[in-house]
A and B are shown apart, each in its own frame.
Chain A
């Protein structure tokens, strides 16, 4: 059994301008100890996807369809009460703004201990001991538990957030742009740390980012999202070396490659899709320079083109339109 299976997940936001289909039929799975990278531009639905899995959607958001199976148990159909008991033990999230997520007037160690005490029925002593252990795990000396967040650097705060995410031994950790606000060197340190912990504890890890260039070294598989859908998914090798979807190709070309030519890449012309008015066809069609007649009228199906390589494009479904 897979650790996590997401089947046809749809998450809508009920806005005053109508329903916004932020996640629109997303399916993927995740194995024990596996790292999946989810990449896409802002507004592509990556974060909504993560929040749906952790059942942390804001009140306008609703999972309108699909199943989220964690070791065979559907998280999507659970009541708020049931979820609350399991949250952080099943799925935990590391958010982007580590600097703002910590309580400034509470000692760091107490904040981690609080998370443990809320979810596990243990004694204060035990919680304190586990806090020290977890801090050491994220390479912060345990004596720093008595410090306040302002005494920590940005990298240390992000480590603390990771420590908190690990506090209840979750099965899946989701990193939502966990390194975006950090320096390159600190980013590399944090990514190394996450990889080490994932391998050691065989945790499932979903790394959400807009920065395709960090995924190659960090993940096993990559899912490329566009307008609420996964347009291409495969191993790192599939995505970078056997790129099938025009969007993925364009996205990769946006990142400078120092061994390639020193010309500024084209970028992706046109505006991102208006999520309130989705066209019946492929959402990327208006920005795609390889579109054909049917692309705007007919929605492409998911096609398997490799062992783990899936793509949602008319071009890949052999001969294209009408097949």
Chain B
């Protein structure tokens, strides 16, 4: 087994909902959004793990929580074997360099009034890693060229608005990798880009993985993209992981009813007229409601009485293939 870069242990992120004046007076119980509810996962060195789910499933919150960009309610994050403690300033300074994030919208991630040079050099400046202007420029040029924008010198003195969407995302990536990180959370990095540009960005990400053993948490709603670039896929629903396993295994032999529903409607180029788009009824429920038992129950056509009573635990059904479902991975109590 390869060395784990990131280990997430029973992560919970709850947000308090604002109470109204009257409900405060009546001292009702505080309402909470359970954005992430008991998530465990590991990401190995140089591994790409995809987190797939609908909006509101808590994928982005999980990514942010791993990077300590949001307050964690419960649970632990380990980075390279060490627990991440957001209160330790010296440790966090190092952690911030080694764990980076790429955001979805390259149009908003770049300060429109800064030059490409300043945007990418910002982490160098903050950490006082360069001594001369010449060295600063050289490191930025190198980062740009590694991100596939060559000659890098041509882009230094440009503003973000002069770049195309794909180029902007490359600048974002150049800024993320300039500190030579071990781990990147990529939150829908290509969903705003045209299909023809998309593949270039994915290739770039895979290139860094191969050259530097960079590990990624790839957050996406697009199952086919997840399959394309990742080693393993985790299917998330309403704050929990329902199924986790090798990419091929999940896509082609997914066991959880939700995974199966997602693969059934996965758009694919080609003539699929004989296939009927079978959709799930309704939409993802609100995370503010307390749900006993299986979280997917309300939309599951195979729900049993047990599903309403007991929350299914993650069970290993094959090597490295985990499912949380009473039907496909019965718990011992259910069998008896």
Contacts and interface: CB of A to CB of B under 8 A. Distances in A.
A267 B197 contact: yes
Interface stretch (B88-96, B275-283, B308-316, B317-325): B275-283
**Chain A, interface residues (CB within 8 Å), range:** 35 or more
Contacts of A236: 271, 273
B221 A184 contact: yes
B228 A267 contact: no
Interface string B274-293: 01010110011000000000
Contacts of B196: 41, 250-251, 254, 267-268
A192 interface: yes
B123 to A, nearest CB: 28
Given A212-B195, A254-B195, A192 B279 contact: yes
A148 interface: no
Nearest to A41: B194
Interface string A183-215: 111111101100000000000000000111110
B268 A184 contact: no
A162 to B, nearest CB: 16
Contacts of A187: 265, 267
B199 interface: yes
Interface in B202-256: 202-203, 206, 221-225, 227-229, 248, 251-252
A210 B194 CA distance: 7
Contacts of B197: 267
A256 interface: yes
A264 B199 contact: yes
Given A41-B196, A184-B266, A217 B283 contact: no
A251 B198 CA distance: 11
User: What are the 8 tightest A-B residue pairs by CB atom distance, in nearest-first order?
Assistant: A267-B199, A268-B196, A213-B267, A188-B265, A254-B195, A256-B228, A183-B54, A255-B269
Interface of B: 54-55, 164-165, 194-200, 202-203, 206, 221-225, 227-229, 248, 251-252, 261-262, 265-273, 275, 277, 279-280, 283-284
27 contacts: A155-B283, A183-B54, A183-B284, A184-B223, A185-B279, A185-B283, A186-B283, A192-B277, A210-B194, A212-B269, A213-B267, A216-B270, A217-B267, A217-B273, A236-B271, A237-B271, A240-B271, A251-B196, A252-B269, A254-B195, A254-B198, A256-B228, A258-B252, A258-B266, A258-B268, A262-B227, A265-B199
